[in-house]
Structure 1
């Protein structure tokens, strides 16, 4: 319950109220989608695992991200989705529910919340460490790939928050 109160439910994947997410049209962006798939499957060290897709509005970045994977996004018109306050808890919640065949990681994330309910009031860096990094270090499975895509960071109204998120990533 505490975690549900701390996430941005409107940004969750497969939410029934969510608008139809953009998708790439068939046979478009084939080369780039193939390159992204190769990058995702690459086993390079984590420090080399950041990809940034930039372009002007309407270029198809959101469609590319959505076609490639599940994502969390910022919406300028939604006061809950245009700030970092619920960003890390929302990502952690999605990770917790992502591997239904082996719930150990999710249980670790939920246990972290049970052990310290004030984790949602600590800094973004602290939330990242307690809700995502530590659980992934304890329970990462070589056969299970985790990919986190952030779409619409420019819609986060506070530019300081944009910089802060990029810094912790």
Structure 2
């Protein structure tokens, strides 16, 4: 739990007024990402990583996608990086934060995650 960055959650109160795409903006990219989430059965990974220049709207796009997924009951976990937050500006908290959210959503997975941690205590390093 020491590695869980609750401030990185999509709905964290510590993310004051999280950015979101204005209505009718970035529709093409939102549609492309959402279709990948819902319809792409050929994907080789279940993790999407959006990167780009600072101020390019990545957080707004990701927040909008998270809200679309929440509305459809399909959001599993999220992590919002932020360069001035020491718990969100490094990957050290990423795995623990995602695992924590998975356990909250799918309690039956807890034993598998605990087993993985016990068999490899350095998993978060």
Using the size of structure 2 for normalisation, the TM-score is 0.70
For residue 56 of structure 2, the aligned residue among 50, 59, 62 is 59
Note the residue ranges of structure 1 that are not aligned, 5 or more in a row: 99-104, 128-169
The root-mean-square deviation of aligned C-alpha atoms, in Å, is 2.9
Higher RCO by CA contacts (8 Å cutoff, separation 6 or greater): 2
How many pairs does the alignment contain? 115
Shift of 1:51: 4.7
Q: 1:52 to 1:116 in 2, by over 3 A?
A: closer
Q: 1:9 to 1:52 in 2, by over 3 A?
A: closer
Q: 1:108 to 1:25 in 2, by over 3 A?
A: same
For residue 77 of structure 1, the aligned residue among 74, 81, 84 is 84
Q: 1:97 to 1:118 in 2, by over 3 A?
A: same
User: Would you say the 8 A contact 2:4–2:96 is kept in 1?
Assistant: yes
1:25 and 2:22 matched = yes
The corresponding residue for 1:47 is: 44
Structure index of larger Rg: 1
Q: 1:106 to 1:27 in 2, by over 3 A?
A: same
User: Would you say the 8 A contact 2:21–2:61 is kept in 1?
Assistant: yes
Using the size of structure 1 for normalisation, the TM-score is 0.55
Structure 1 stretches of at least 4 aligned residues deviating more than 6 Å after TM superposition = none
Q: 1:64 to 1:122 in 2, by over 3 A?
A: same
For residue 102 of structure 2, the aligned residue among 95, 102, 124 is 95
User: Would you say the 8 A contact 1:6–1:120 is kept in 2?
Assistant: no
Q: Deviations over 1:20-67 (max 9, x none)?
A: 110001111122222222121124234165655443222212111110
User: Would you say the 8 A contact 2:87–2:93 is kept in 1?
Assistant: yes
Shift of 1:108: 2.2
